Structure 1
Amino acid sequence: MTTFSSLGVAKDFQKALKENTIITPTDIQIKAIPLLLKQKTDFIGLAQTGTGKTAAFGLPILQNIDPTKNEIQALILSPTRELVQQINKQLFRFTKYATTKIFSEELYGGVKIDVQIERLKRPTHFIVATPGRLVDLIERGALDLTKINTIVLDEADEMLSMGFKQDLNRILNYTNGTRNTWLFSATMPEGIQRIINTYMSPNAHRVSVDVDTLVNKNITHQYAVVNGKEKYDNLVSFLEQNPNGRGIIFCKTKAGVQNLTEYLKEDEFSVGGLEGDMGQRDRDKVMRAFKNESRQILVATDVAARGIDVKDLAFVIHYQLPEQLEYYTHRSGRTARAGKKGISLALVTATELGRLREIERDLDIRAQQVSF
């Protein structure tokens, strides 16, 4: 049996992993950790969210840092504030038994930039950041990235679909030199391929896990053909048939989220809404309630749901089909994590059936028709 010890992970980190009940390495960890620990290499990992990517890149980063040098040695980029916080928190836990303290900073928007500039004057060995805020700090000359050995692009496809293409190009140009680039992505759209071709070595190691299909094989894909008011009635029927299940309902627009959340509240469902116009405080409040299970259902737009990592979701509902194929992958990938099973249900009108068939064909999945 493969263990973290056999992968080359140091004893200090093994102890912290055990304490966090991370005992058996996942596929991506088995394939990535020995490579990233031993070799100075560019790396491309194709893996879904929830497959253990943070430890796959995080443990080699922590083990390769020289804590005696007071300089930023690694940079991890992630699309949202929530993901930045999650990654930094997890890596901090891994360092609990490290013999010499490893210091990090998390950088994202919504916090006064002056406060972050002050914090960066403290010893910092690695940074976890959103691309937009990092560019702001680079332009102000607030941090020195000339000594970094490694840059990680986590959820690279999400960063592109959120409009960070220009920021990523600027950061990759700014840090160009001897650093290695490790790119992790659930999908490989054209924009990601361009980044690989432009900024990464042609000899970069490529690893794929759980990509028999682009969407996790533990997900049961379903659809119901609905018209007009039937759509809401079908949604209610599904929720009533799954009274203990937690899940996310996706809408395409902010107005759609607001309206649907109100309707479900009126029908006394335990629900919260998440959309782009919300302030950070309101967003945090909704997310806290959903994570601690005082809210059972979340209604969200694709952009607002970026960075959500909630365990044990039983279902995802496409109240409206997404415009982009990648969005369907990201939505569906919120359920059936860590070996569990889940349902991805699309409520489609007769005119949307053609679009659903395209999604099935492109992702090599087959959705079962259901009725309520």
Structure 2
Amino acid sequence: MNTLSDIMEFYYVIFQQDKYLGPSYKMYITKKVISNLSFMITFKETGLKPEILKSLDEMGFETPTPIQAETIPYILDSTNDLIALAQTGTGKTAAFGLPVLNKIEINKKEIQSIVLCPTRELCLQITSDLHKFSNNIDITVVPVYGGEPIYRQLGALKKGCHMVVGTPGRVNDLINREKLDLSSVRFLILDEADEMLKMGFKDEMDAILAQTPAMKQTLLFSATMPPDIASLTGRYMNTPHKISVTSQNKTAENIDHKYMVTSPPTLYPALRRFADMHSDIYSIVFCRTRQETKDIADKLIADGYNADSLHGDLSQGQRDLVMGRFRKKHLQILVATDVAARGLDVTELTHVIHYHLPDDPENYVHRSGRTGRAGKSGISMAIITPGEQRKIKMLERQVKTNFTKEMVPQGKEVFKRRLSTYLDNVAEFDEQKFPVAEFEEIINEKLGHLSKEELLNKFMSKEFGRIYQEYKNSTDLNSTTSSSQRKGRGPKKAGAGRKGNRLSRFSINLGEKNNLRPDLLINIINRHTPEYKIRIGKIDIQNKHTVFEADGNYEKELIKAFRKARYKGNNLSVQTFR
């Protein structure tokens, strides 16, 4: 009983012959069957064309993921709108791409489908996947996105295509130039719709959707269902069918969630020690701001790591170069912001490191979900300060998983690990690569007078002398309470060593009329107070101003930081609100 038809026939016989089975129990059995179909069916049983199945076979794909198992048959057999809720990394591109490619009319060289997604990287990744899926059918897919000369995309569109994948800004620009005609669109896909709205693309999405025909199939894929998404579906979707294959805020089971506690001045040294303890590390380090990604990456590079940063200030060529090096593992550590890492599809990450915990638990789920993919295990490590330990407890409840506390490695422990790894590599090295006998005369001339002990000491001192000096007298970076910040473990910053966790109320002169959202406000606060880790509480956005709660220990710092700040041409002002 291995196929879908076998399973359904089995349960049909049971339901027909056993008159004592009540309707509630029959429904229970049916739900159990459906919930396990994704582990039982193959792509061949979804109804896809032989040509597409051949492409999947060439790619080594046999069994669909849960979201693919539910959406592919539905889209193939229905013209109704669809809302699909699934986390990042669950195979959403194939979930909508395969059935839409299957329904494209190849003989009609017109834009029959458009996919909207939040970032250039995701746009290119989706396009690449669609090209692979359609390798054995003559379907043309054109990506359009910002940061690339528009004339190239205009040329590709002029030649004609079946599908367009684009970011809202560039798609809207092309429509306004009358270079992109969506009048023949039959399938509209919104991928990572929640992220597009978070990034402020609401107006562009409204304008684009208004240019599409009334009679079309709209497929919305999202990790969450915030009010903005519900509003969007209410305006543009017609009684959509809803599929949800994962619990909201739930992390993958093959990821270990860990955290280390240190003081604010020693966050970077703690990151270094963790990286040194894992010689095989292949990781993304998530930071809050663009500037922080640059600073951390620069420090890592200066300290000899194969690292680089990914942030919004890079040109498209620079971003492609960084991501290409990272995918090829020429970089071990990539330092990035949440937005910049969107669309970066890497399946072999050993670690995700949170240099700062995100304020939204959904962002934590997205971040940590970048490791532990393709059946492999992964580690999500948060480097936090003592005041954030309560945040770990909140995250445990919100993402429904347990976090394990680890100690920041001691300096000697790190040095021994690095030395041991180096010596293992030396012992395993193929000595035949260097012909010692050929150069024996010059080697003896330069080093022959040295004893074995002297020679070993010189080589090891040259290779590890600096590292040993750095670590031999290193301090303990572990911190368990806020008082540890006041005992001389690093320079004291403004605001450090204060007692209590009280929240004060503040008012900022931005509100609904400025299109302010909670996530934007948090980003604004983080950007203007990068040297502090300020806890944010409730946020009440009103028409012309916003009242929010923040750590009362930082009243003076918050007010001072915003004295010269501006946002979209507006002078910003923050004051305490009693």
TM-score range, shorter chain: over 0.9
In the TM superposition, what whole-angstrom CA distance separates every residue of 1:312-334 from its partner, at most 9, and x where no partner exists? 11111110122333322221121
Equivalent runs, 1:142-221 vs 2, <5 Å: 142-202=179-239, 204-211=240-247, 213-221=249-257
8 Å contact 1:70–1:124 — kept in the other structure? yes
Report the secondary structure of 1:229's partner residue.
Answer: helix
Residue range with higher mean Cα deviation, 3-12 or 158-167:
158-167
Residue 322 of structure 1 aligns with which residue?
A: 358
Residue 345 in 1 paired to residue 381 in 2? yes
Structure 1 residue 307 displacement after superposition: 1.6
8 Å contact 1:44–1:183 — kept in the other structure? yes
8 Å contact 1:46–1:186 — kept in the other structure? yes
Report the secondary structure of 2:407's partner residue.
Answer: coil
Report the secondary structure of 1:184's partner residue.
Answer: strand
Residue 90 in 1 paired to residue 126 in 2? no
Equivalent runs, 1:81-160 vs 2, <5 Å: 81-98=120-137, 101-160=138-197
8 Å contact 2:148–2:316 — kept in the other structure? no
In the TM superposition, what whole-angstrom CA distance separates every residue of 1:326-348 from its partner, at most 9, and x where no partner exists? 32222112111223221111111
State the AA in 2 paired with 1:297: I
**What is the count of residue pairs matched by the alignment?**
369
Structure 1 residue 360 displacement after superposition: 3.0
Residue range with higher mean Cα deviation, 154-163 or 353-362:
353-362
Residue 22 of structure 1 aligns with which residue?
A: 61
Quote the Cα distance in structure 2 between the aligned partners of 1:230 and 1:88.
Answer: 42
State the AA in 1 paired with 2:53: Q
Residue 569 of structure 2 aligns with which residue?
A: none
Using CA pairs below 8 Å that are at least 6 residues apart, which structure has the higher relative contact order? 1
Quote the Cα distance in structure 2 between the aligned partners of 1:75 and 1:213.
Answer: 29
State the AA in 2 paired with 1:70: K
Structure 1 residue 18 displacement after superposition: 0.6
Output the aligned Cα RMSD. Answer: 1.7
8 Å contact 2:249–2:362 — kept in the other structure? no
8 Å contact 1:51–1:338 — kept in the other structure? no
Report the secondary structure of 2:43's partner residue.
Answer: coil
Residue 105 of structure 2 aligns with which residue?
A: 66
Structure 1 residue 9 displacement after superposition: 0.8
Quote the Cα distance in structure 1 between the aligned partners of 2:348 and 2:236.
Answer: 37
Report the secondary structure of 1:5's partner residue.
Answer: helix
Quote the Cα distance in structure 1 between the aligned partners of 2:375 and 2:242.
Answer: 23
Residue 50 of structure 1 aligns with which residue?
A: 89
Residue 307 of structure 1 aligns with which residue?
A: 343
Structure 1 residue 119 displacement after superposition: 2.3
Report the structure number with the largest CA radius of gyration. 2
State the AA in 2 paired with 1:331: R
Residue 366 in 1 paired to residue 405 in 2? no
Report the secondary structure of 1:13's partner residue.
Answer: helix
List runs of 5+ in structure 1 lacking aligned partners: none
- TM-score (ref. length: structure 2): 0.62
Q: 2:318 aligns with which of 253, 266, 282?
A: 282
Residue 2 in 1 paired to residue 38 in 2? no
8 Å contact 1:43–1:205 — kept in the other structure? yes
Structure 1 residue 120 displacement after superposition: 1.4
8 Å contact 2:186–2:215 — kept in the other structure? yes
- TM-score (ref. length: structure 1): 0.94
8 Å contact 2:147–2:315 — kept in the other structure? no
Report the secondary structure of 1:105's partner residue.
Answer: strand
Report the secondary structure of 2:359's partner residue.
Answer: coil
In the TM superposition, what whole-angstrom CA distance separates every residue of 1:11-60 from its partner, at most 9, and x where no partner exists? 11111111111122111111111100011011111112222211111111
In the TM superposition, what whole-angstrom CA distance separates every residue of 1:205-248 from its partner, at most 9, and x where no partner exists? 22222437532222221112210333222212221222112110
| Bigger share in helix | 2
Identity %: 44
State the AA in 2 paired with 1:246: Y
Report the secondary structure of 2:84's partner residue.
Answer: strand
Residue 368 of structure 2 aligns with which residue?
A: 332
Quote the Cα distance in structure 2 between the aligned partners of 1:118 and 1:248.
Answer: 36
8 Å contact 1:67–1:102 — kept in the other structure? yes
